[in-house]
Structure 1
Amino acid sequence: MSTPMGFGRMHRKEDARFIRGRGGYVDDVNLPGMLYGAILRSPHAHARIVTIDTSAALAHPKVKAVITGETLAGLNLAWMPTLSADTQAVLATDKVRFQGQEVAFVVAEDRYSARDALELIDVEYDALDAVIDARKSLDPDAPLIRDDHEGRADNKIFDWEAGDKATTDAVFAQAEVAVTQDMLYPRVHPAPLETCGAVADFDKVTGKLTVWCPTQAPHAHRTLYALVAGLPEHKIRVISPDIGGGFGNKVGIYPGYVCAIVGSIVTGKPVKWMEDRSENLMSTSFARDYHMRGEVAATRDGKIQAIRVKVLADHGAFNGTAQPTKFPAGFFHVFTGSYDLQAAHCEVTGVYTNKAPGGVAYACSFRITEAVYLVERMIDVLAMELGADPAELRMKNLLRSEQFPYTSPTGWEYDSGDYQKTLQLAMDMAGYDALRREQAEKRERGELMGIGISFFTEAVGAGPRKHMDILGLGMADGAELRVHPTGKAVLRVSCQSQGQGHETTFAQIVAAELGISPDDVDVVHGDTDQTPFGLGTYGSRSTPVSGAAAAMVSRKVRERARQVAAAMLEASPEDLEWAVNESGGAWTVAGTGAGKTIQEIALAAHSSLELPDGVEGHLDATCVYNPPNLTYPFGAYICVVDVDPGTGQVKVRRFIAVDDCGVRINPMIVEGQVHGGLADGVGMALMQLMAFDEDGNHLGASFMDYLLPTAMECPSWELGETVTPSPHHPIGAKGVGESATVGSPPAVVNAVLDALRPFGVRHADMPLTPAGVWRAMQGNPIRTDLAIS
């Protein structure tokens, strides 16, 4: 037997295929007789459809079908539910509501003919005024975007609030100091390496539909396909193979998926649809686009007392956010962050605009990224007002370890933490005092150096299901574990990896629980016919929920192994002790040394061994894990930047990231996740922006216009860790996949604005491009000037 391993560094099992180019992606799926689909998209952001003439396209010798909204309406498929219980047009019928919206779907013999045939479709549009500014969408005379909703009179989606308004207002009325700042977290895009696509194969003989698509939530997709297409759910199989990055972009169902399914049903052939990069950037789920006004009340000596927030959330033309039903604004009301407050109150208004549907949880847990950015910027604004050191101000107001479990003013119960220890470690690693001295010396020479700090608390692992669901589907995850007669194990999980290393991490969990090698554990995911039901991977749910399910199902198998071992040893189960040593895991008779390893027990469980009444053979079990609470990872980040005073160019010189994600299963994977998130944060802070002109034309439909960070823009990350186990998680893990994306943007922005203090700049909105920084230095910072009353 190979050497048993548990938690610790080991190379990812997935890398054997990935680094050799042997991964299997949706575009690698090629079936006999397969046809190809292409989507005609609207050039307008807002326009009525007068006519659609498809005759020339249908006359193309290689075109097999042209599907329009009218075609789908006849099948009752013109509209589909979104994950926020809104509706979204599959193909536009009445009008288009954003540039790039799907209008028609061509099915042809090859990819090129399908694309060519799009040019043959003649659509007559009656252009309408577009609403791009979320603030203007609420004007009484603004064009109505969702006139498909009977009785709708405006573009408002929801009004939502959390916290105690009366108490918060009373604290502000008595505050010695109060600061206010408007800010925008601009619209950004996950931009995964692999774009979205689908291969649909409907078998008319069996009535079975198989769909390959790069979804982060295969089981949720299957259920929604059943609801939309009217097919029996047990006749639908969704396969999500290797995914080239998800970041929330691949949670929802896109019209192209439904069109591929309909194309297969209509033609009787498999149909593949793959979008190009411009389509992905223009029409798939965006993130952020939050216009925020923050207010902080404090004493003169820097004790923060209350936070008050108003938000205008731009959700695009359809509300496609993947939020739990009870939380239309996501988990934004964790905006109190990591600080000890008397009171807090927030109001969020969601609106429609003529942009692609937004609100995806892009590498964050349901809007916590925006919340952390807001509060961390407000702490620096307060520090500037008081003339206080940003690190000292945070240290003074952070929650203390003895306060956990801590219930926030908006009702969230943080599980555990030692915040001061984490911040102090980051400051020690950075050499904080020496950095401040260096900064002072450089300022005397006219050099611009900035030091930015952020401290964040995340809320991840969406559940329990009594509080959290999507379209009525509760957020609990399943796991199935089977140990074969030779002691090799197969774990089946409902979550879906997009590069996080699930096949390694979950194998390590099972290995640690059963005392076997991770190499002897195969992890199966991404196939609804082969895995238990669950709501997928997003919001850092993998380890907090599916990882917990893996641990719990392993313990069930271990307990069953105790019963079998007792029969083998002719002992009482109560007399057996579990032990893991160099030989692996074994049940032994207390005080005798006699025992049986998991491998020996597995073979006996499948043999003719006579077992006690009520004890089944085989070593397998199932589990549905319903988390009792979220988990709350946290971290302290320090960023050091240099700014060129002549050009506004920002160079990130150092970045120190200390994360506490509870127990670390594989530190190497954790570090890789943090590296990726930090790069994300640098990109959002300094270069990423989904921009539109006043007519709704999308200005970032290629990587020439929508910039992503490279190794040239990123420093060598300096990582540290503290470990505060979650008290309610089976292995004490909290999750880390999105933490760095949450904590890094405010650290970078705070650093840049700290460098610009000699110019009196209090705030400038992301992205802090060289032009934006230069303008701020000239006294014209980019501002949102929100009209939020």
Structure 2
Amino acid sequence: MTAVDEPPVTPQEPAQEQQPERPIGFGRMKRKEDPRFVRGKGRYVDDIQLPGMLHGAVLRSPFAHARILSVDTSAAEAHPRVKAVITGETLAGLGLAWMPTLSRDTQAVLATDKVRFQGQEVAFVVAEDHYAARDAIELIDVEYEPLDPVVNARHALAAEAPVIRDDLEGRTDNHVFDWEAGDSAATEEVFARADVVVEQTMLYPRVHPAPLETCGAVASMDPVDGKLTLYSTTQAPHAHRTLYAMVAGIPEHKIRVVAPDIGGGFGNKVGIYPGYVCAIVGSIVTGRPVKWMEDRSENLMSTSFARDYHMAGEIAATREGKILGVRVEVLADHGAFNSTAQPTKYPAGFFHIFTGSYDIEAAHCRVTGVYTNKAPGGVAYACSFRVTEAVYLIERLVDCLADELGADPAELRMRNLLRPEQFPYENKTGWTYDSGDYPACLRKAMDLVGYEELRKEQNERRARGELMGVGLSFFTETVGAGPRKHMDILGLGMADGCELRVHPTGKAVVRLSVQTQGQGHETTFAQIVAEELGIPPEDVDVVHGDTDRTPFGLGTYGSRSTPVSGAAAAVVARKVRDKARIIAGAMLEVAPDDLAWTKGRWSIKGDPAMSRTIQEIALAAHGSLELPDGVEGHLEATTVYNPPSMTYPFGAYVCVVDVDPGTGSVKVRRFVAVDDCGTRINPMIIEGQVHGGLADGVGMALMEIIGFDEDGNCVSGSFMDYLLPTALEVPAWELDHTVTPSPHHPFGAKGIGESATVGSPPAVVNAVLDAIGVRHADMPLTPSRVWQALQGGEVEAPQ
């Protein structure tokens, strides 16, 4: 019926403004948690105030490598506002001198024999206020015997290098591990018959997550019931609780870990830091709550870093540009203790994805881990366990190959991308990509940016002496760590629990084992449950971050939230829906098999008017209705989701830069990002995640590095030295997407939180090098380094 054929509106039928139907669950929806944040009502660890609370401060080593000859705490103990001074000897008496790391290494809580990196924890002071604690650490007199430090990963493997971990029995060198993937013999054969082989060494330098909120904890040991409550800046509350039980010997049911609002994590808050343990010990010793919060310099100098991968890559191809094989040797700098957050079986994380998004015949890599006199770590910082380094490697190699062949980088990628009909695709290191249409994604990015016109503009500008660059990257990421039979951390399998309860009034509460640090979990998971049950997202409350109120799980990192806990939320909601079907059958006096589901209600097949909503069913489940045998009542369910496999989001990015030939400064003029994260739950949250990740990638490509001098001093201990991008350094992002659902995820989602950080650095670097006509230079491409490259000088890789 056309508009002119519509009947007139009578007074009895007032006109209604037509509104587009809003999806019950998935769709653009403002974040439920934002009202409290924009009003300044968030509750962070430093906001916690407990009766009688004391404050702690850490004394840190000024040396990168030195023996501890003596520690004199008498002056600090005499301070009138100091309540306790804790040293390594104190902890040794309690059996707490060393703690396990996430990589099954051991790390000193407070140094006793020697310090192994600048900023290592030596003593902990508990005082009546923060300022007295800070003053008192200056009164502790530590006598050191300086030792030669080693901050260069290659030098660390030399025979004459000082042994950093001489606390380990039989240790005579700084070697941590060897790991390899792929087929060495097949790769050798492919390289032997290749027409073209391109080699390139490159460094992904050490960078830092630099969250807005630094790390901290408030520990309160109740001397009456022996229960420890710890408010902590953690991304993994349940894993932390288990580790504290292992370290301190406190029964796990006597430990409650609460992660309140977290001001950013990005992997920095996955592991356990000595300050957490010291706060606990401080509360045990004093019998009062103890708060410890680090300052910005402490966070930059001593908490977990990321990257620091020295890579030597080779790519083999035909003269026509068909990529045949890739091989790589990697030296991974793990700092003074191997505390990197990686699944147990994969000490180099998921670097196996170094084959990228391309259809190749053979590949092989070997990764060697080493100790150096740097802060320990290797967090899953906005990457899925070393995927960022792997993607950077292959995308730089492809550009180097394009340069060697004189080929267009976009055309070379398009020629070698995997095709839709090849999925599921097992790459040459044995990992199966779930789904994708890679060529369509790249074409969309090229069309959106106007690739052909950009190349014409570039030629015109070059003729005028202007430096303009266009850089591409195509990435495949692997996220959603699991299944637990293959992946664990310290024996804890990577599966997540979820609980869902629908109250008599039809309002629901879902309890998660993942912890948000700003990703919008309270909105996203409400939308998932709403979509499955057909109730408004506003009626779903999301509970997380408290081990006494949530089921066990390994937390949030490596884009696990939606691929694992999101799947768990869908599965548990379907369990509730199935139970509701049985109850609805009793209400309608029909067999459950005679019912059909439409969003939000069960109806008799063929008679949709005879139906019961979820809200009606929930009330009946708690009421006097005679329920079928085996149904106990209430409307609730639990699940533990063990993911059958990883998920593989992907994307195509194009960056356009202008370079000032006089100063070497780089301006990112445009950036187009086309992502595929499978089924999209909330586009607004997806866009926010991508915006943040793109800014992160620009920062790493152009300015961010944790550097050290030859004495092991960290020269990036403040935001005056460790530069971060601002709104002035980033363009207006241009975003688009394709959708290829994951076939094994309950609703096809793949994850998005880290994709932009994976794909953006190589796109920016490729654009800068395209502008200045240099095959390779290592990040960060600061103005001085770009200017140096323009003059034809060798750009030295940073330490």
Is contact 1:4-1:517 (8 Å) kept? no
Query: Which of 25, 35, 38 is the aligned partner of 2:57?
Result: 38
Query: Match of 1:770?
Result: 783
Query: Match of 2:656?
Result: 640
Aligned residues: 778
Counterpart amino acid of residue 251 in structure 1:
V
How many angstroms apart in 2 are the aligned matches of 1:710 and 1:449?
22
2:691 aligned with 1:672: no
Is contact 1:4-1:516 (8 Å) kept? no
SS in 1 for 2:305: coil
Query: Match of 1:12?
Result: 31
Is contact 1:314-1:358 (8 Å) kept? no
Counterpart amino acid of residue 198 in structure 2:
V
Query: Which of 600, 624, 628 is the aligned partner of 1:608?
Result: 624
- 1:739-770 Cα distance to aligned partner (Å, 9 max, x none): 0000000000000000011xxx2100000000
Is contact 1:449-1:640 (8 Å) kept? yes
2:178 aligned with 1:159: yes
How many angstroms apart in 2 are the aligned matches of 1:200 and 1:440?
62
SS in 1 for 2:607: coil
Q: What does 1:466-505 align with in structure 2 at a 5 Å threshold?
A: 466-505=485-524
Counterpart amino acid of residue 735 in structure 1:
G
Q: Shift of the alpha carbon at 1:785?
A: 11
Q: Shift of the alpha carbon at 1:114?
A: 0.3
Q: Shift of the alpha carbon at 1:331?
A: 0.2
Q: What does 1:312-351 align with in structure 2 at a 5 Å threshold?
A: 312-351=331-370
Is contact 1:182-1:784 (8 Å) kept? no
Question: Kindly tell me: are residues 684 and 785 of structure 1, through their superposed partners in 2, closer, same or farther at Cα, counting changes over 3 Å?
Answer: closer
Query: Match of 2:8?
Result: none
SS in 1 for 2:497: strand
How many angstroms apart in 2 are the aligned matches of 1:781 and 1:470?
42
2:530 aligned with 1:515: no
Unpaired runs of 5+ in structure 2? 1-20
2:82 aligned with 1:67: no
Query: Match of 2:252?
Result: 233
Query: Match of 1:210?
Result: 229
SS in 1 for 2:711: coil
Query: Match of 1:555?
Result: 574
How many angstroms apart in 1 are the aligned matches of 2:593 and 2:587?
14
SS in 1 for 2:153: coil
Q: Shift of the alpha carbon at 1:333?
A: 1.0
Is contact 1:107-1:263 (8 Å) kept? yes
Q: What does 1:618-633 align with in structure 2 at a 5 Å threshold?
A: 618-633=634-649
Q: More deviation in 32-41 or 607-616?
A: 607-616
How many angstroms apart in 2 are the aligned matches of 1:630 and 1:159?
24
Q: Shift of the alpha carbon at 1:3?
A: 8.1
Is contact 1:183-1:783 (8 Å) kept? no
- 1:138-185 Cα distance to aligned partner (Å, 9 max, x none): 000100000000001100000110000001011111110000000000
- 1:347-366 Cα distance to aligned partner (Å, 9 max, x none): 00000000000211110000
Q: Shift of the alpha carbon at 1:670?
A: 0.2
Query: Match of 1:360?
Result: 379
2:320 aligned with 1:301: yes
- 1:431-476 Cα distance to aligned partner (Å, 9 max, x none): 0000000000111111000000000000000000000000000000
How many angstroms apart in 2 are the aligned matches of 1:288 and 1:549?
31
How many angstroms apart in 2 are the aligned matches of 1:208 and 1:316?
35
SS in 2 for 1:762: coil
Q: Shift of the alpha carbon at 1:222?
A: 0.1
Counterpart amino acid of residue 782 in structure 1:
V
Query: Match of 2:703?
Result: 687
Is contact 2:769-2:775 (8 Å) kept? yes
Q: What does 1:304-453 align with in structure 2 at a 5 Å threshold?
A: 304-453=323-472
Q: Which runs of 4+ in 1 moved over 3 A?
A: 783-786
Counterpart amino acid of residue 238 in structure 1:
V
Query: Match of 1:709?
Result: 725
Counterpart amino acid of residue 85 in structure 1:
R
- 1:619-663 Cα distance to aligned partner (Å, 9 max, x none): 000000000000000000000000000000000000000000000
How many angstroms apart in 2 are the aligned matches of 1:67 and 1:438?
65
How many angstroms apart in 2 are the aligned matches of 1:440 and 1:655?
19
Is contact 2:707-2:716 (8 Å) kept? yes
Question: Kindly tell me: are residues 785 and 132 of structure 1, through their superposed partners in 2, closer, same or farther at Cα, counting changes over 3 Å?
Answer: closer
Query: Match of 1:700?
Result: 716
- 1:723-754 Cα distance to aligned partner (Å, 9 max, x none): 00000000100000000000000000000000
SS in 2 for 1:211: strand
Query: Match of 2:607?
Result: 592
SS in 1 for 2:213: coil
2:669 aligned with 1:650: no
Unpaired runs of 5+ in structure 1? none
SS in 2 for 1:642: strand
How many angstroms apart in 2 are the aligned matches of 1:360 and 1:352?
15
Query: Which of 169, 182, 195 is the aligned partner of 1:150?
Result: 169
SS in 2 for 1:135: helix
What is the percentage of aligned positions where both structures have the same residue?
Answer: 78
2:795 aligned with 1:782: yes
How many angstroms apart in 2 are the aligned matches of 1:248 and 1:671?
20
Q: TM-score by structure 1 length? A: 0.98
How many angstroms apart in 2 are the aligned matches of 1:684 and 1:616?
56
2:282 aligned with 1:266: no
Question: Kindly tell me: are residues 4 and 435 of structure 1, through their superposed partners in 2, closer, same or farther at Cα, counting changes over 3 Å?
Answer: closer
- 1:590-616 Cα distance to aligned partner (Å, 9 max, x none): 112201000000000000110111122
